[in-house]
Amino acid sequence: MKPACGPAPLAKNMSENDVILGIDLGTTFSLVAYADEAGPRVIRDDSGDGRVPSVLSFAPDGRVTIGWEARRHAVENPEHTVYSVKRLMGLGIADLQKEMPFLAFRVVPGQRDTVKIDINGELLTPQEISALILRELRNRAERHFGRQMNKAVITVPAYFDDSQRQATRDAGVLAGLEVVRIVNEPTAAALAYGIGIRRPAAGKGAPMSLPVGDKSKCTGGAPAASPGAADGEVIAVYDLGGGTFDVSLLRLTGDLFEVLSTHGDTHLGGDDFDRCIISMVRREVSQQFGFNIDSPATRQALRTFSEEVKIRLGEQDRATIELDLGEGRRYARTISRGEFEAMIGGLVDRTIASCRQALADAKLPPEAVAQVVLVGGSSRVPLVRRRVEAFFGRKPYMALNPDEVVALGAAVQGQILSGRRTDALLLDVTPLSLGIETLGGAMGKLILRNTRIPCQASEMFTTFVDGQTSVKINVLQGERELAADCRSLATFDLRGIPPMPAGIPKIEVQFLIDANGILNVSARELRSGVETSIQVIPSHGLTRDEVKRIEEESIRFARQDMTAHRLIDLRNQVEFDTHKTEQALALHGHRLSPEQRTALEEGIRVLRDLVKKTDDADKLHRALDEFGKATLDLANLAITEALRGEGGGRTGKEKVRT
């Protein structure tokens, strides 16, 4: 055995410009970042905001608006506005029964156990919707770099199962991205935290010249561990986002990031806090006035103002909710922070239970945690902070921007994968046990949760009937004993087994979980040495053929992105937006200050002027974005409009105040 190894560069054909983007595809907001020698940074819009709301608005002509613009028009256009699509990724209709009453858009069953979103009769998968968000982020990055960008690291909640990860990766493919890696959000956050408190990347090929705490520890040719104030310290990343919750425990040793354990809930986040308020309002309106408020427009409006109430209660002790439901029927109440906290207490308890489980799996007491890093917008809720602090017995670390840290970490991971940061190493785990359905419907575990990835396991199978040439395997993920209580990832149909008497074939199936946390399966019949072909039928996702078909179709759509078409779209958009704004001004303008009114009128004039003068689509896009932001207050006034007429379509003077 003579391995011809030398110190040749790892990636020969990698150009200097081969940046791998870091994308945080969030429930509420998505961000795109990149990292260079100066460190990771988020790509922002002209107003300095890195966040793109994960909201899409579909116009009747098929045009799609994404981001702030879509978010603002959500109430006017409730059935054609899609939000929180991350909560639908990799799931079936049965999984979403609790979700449905809160969605203003239509969700229908798709192939096998999947869902589709019905927009004016056009059915889109959650993967396609997510791909549109990814495309928007990609466009933002391309404007920033002035060239094509096609590689990305995309983050997912650590507790995402295989189907949800696959769905995310498929979304990336549909957006024309090469998804170099799927990274767990808390792990990405830890990476940003660990790198951030230490130093920026060493330049390409730069020697690791940093002082080492204790060199004597590093023998056996191990690369020296780099500084790190407290080597080997354990940190907890508590990540509560819009729709998902994760907690991960990591050991940080120099530039080594070892995930010890992770736990979470892929349906627990800020959305659920909002829903507590929504349910309260619905219940009380129904008690007081004897009717239900439940039109799509109301769902959307309630969602918007509940979020505001929640944010307000983070800053002050009480908030007022007033709904004028027409005909003198007025729902009004104040809600105290205490009441709100009582409503969400059970949800926060669930996150703490997850923390306890993660510690138990890592075999650590809470005191062993040297730092608690808070991530995700919902970690701003005061009750969350208090409970986390009480549980771990220490003040959480809050110097990081909880909205941006995941994207920053993803960018650092992109830098590692592009070969430009050679010092850091990330070792992650699989969040859920993997197994197969055995005879009698039990779950036979092959890989336990919190096993370090990549990992593999193999299992022998045989046939039951003479001459049988195929075997079906139901692959499961979960912690329960019965197959029915676990999640079926896919059915693997092993084909091409040479015909033999029953029980004679020895089919070795290898289950390999890669560094993305995604399962790869291969099989071989040992007696004949024949590699069996495997047809994968995903339970909650797209087959390879389906992804390919959608991809081909989307090339058609992609052509529409070409400049000429884009310019036409943008001009139409300007016309539409300015007209809409004029209408809104006429209706609600009196409630704005004279300065605000003048500014908006001026904005309309400037924008119309620009349309006549420029052919620069990017410039127009930015101006439109700016204009959109300026109309925010006016749009909020329009939200209240949506509640008018609830309760039998009667009109009345409406008012929603938070």
Site residues, another protein (CB under 8 A): 1-8, 10-11, 13-14, 18, 180-181, 217-223, 256, 413, 416-419, 422, 425-427, 451-456, 512-515
Tokens standing for residue 504: 């004679």
From the list 99, 185, 246, 404, the catalytic residue is 185
User: Among residues 183 and 369, whose Cβ is nearest to another protein?
Assistant: 183
User: Among residues 100 and 425, whose Cβ is nearest to another protein?
Assistant: 425
Question: How far apart are alpha carbons 372 and 189 in whole angstroms?
Answer: 11
Contact (CB, 8 A) for 454 and 403:
no
Question: How far apart are alpha carbons 210 and 29 in whole angstroms?
Answer: 37
- Least distance to another protein from the beta carbon of 445, Å? 15
- Least distance to another protein from the beta carbon of 199, Å? 19
Question: How far apart are alpha carbons 269 and 377 in whole angstroms?
Answer: 9
- Least distance to another protein from the beta carbon of 470, Å? 25
Question: How far apart are alpha carbons 412 and 421 in whole angstroms?
Answer: 8
User: Among residues 3 and 440, whose Cβ is nearest to another protein?
Assistant: 3
Strands 455-461 and 56-58: unpaired
- Least distance to another protein from the beta carbon of 516, Å? 9
- Least distance to another protein from the beta carbon of 249, Å? 17
- Least distance to another protein from the beta carbon of 146, Å? 23
From the list 128, 136, 170, 239, the catalytic residue is 239
User: Which phi-psi region, left, alpha or beta, contains residue 321 (left: φ > 0; alpha: ψ -120 to 50)?
Assistant: beta
423 is catalytic: no
User: Among residues 257 and 492, whose Cβ is nearest to another protein?
Assistant: 257
239 is catalytic: yes
- Least distance to another protein from the beta carbon of 452, Å? 5
User: Among residues 7 and 146, whose Cβ is nearest to another protein?
Assistant: 7
24 is catalytic: yes
Question: How far apart are alpha carbons 67 and 52 in whole angstroms?
Answer: 5
User: Among residues 256 and 611, whose Cβ is nearest to another protein?
Assistant: 256
Tokens standing for residue 556: 């058609």
Question: How far apart are alpha carbons 105 and 242 in whole angstroms?
Answer: 18
For residue 59, the tally of other CB atoms under 10 A from its CB is 16
Tokens standing for residue 578: 């300015």
- Least distance to another protein from the beta carbon of 565, Å? 34
Question: How far apart are alpha carbons 355 and 464 in whole angstroms?
Answer: 45
Question: How far apart are alpha carbons 74 and 636 in whole angstroms?
Answer: 11
From the list 24, 161, 437, 654, the catalytic residue is 24
User: Among residues 403 and 423, whose Cβ is nearest to another protein?
Assistant: 423
36 is catalytic: no
Question: How far apart are alpha carbons 304 and 78 in whole angstroms?
Answer: 11
Tokens standing for residue 625: 């974005």
From the list 86, 116, 310, 445, the catalytic residue is 86
Q: Read off the DSSP letter of residue 461.
A: E
Q: Helices marked H in 261-404 — which ranges?
A: 270-289, 296-315, 337-362, 382-392
Residue 154: closest CA among 256, 33, 62, 255: 33
Torsion on CA atoms 478, 479, 482, 487, rounded to nearest 10: -10
Contact (CB, 8 A) for 464 and 476:
no
Residue given tokens 């929504």 in the structure block:
278
The number of helices, as runs of H, and strands, as runs of E, in the chain is: 14, 31
User: Among residues 223 and 366, whose Cβ is nearest to another protein?
Assistant: 223
Residues labelled as active-site residues: 24, 86, 185, 239
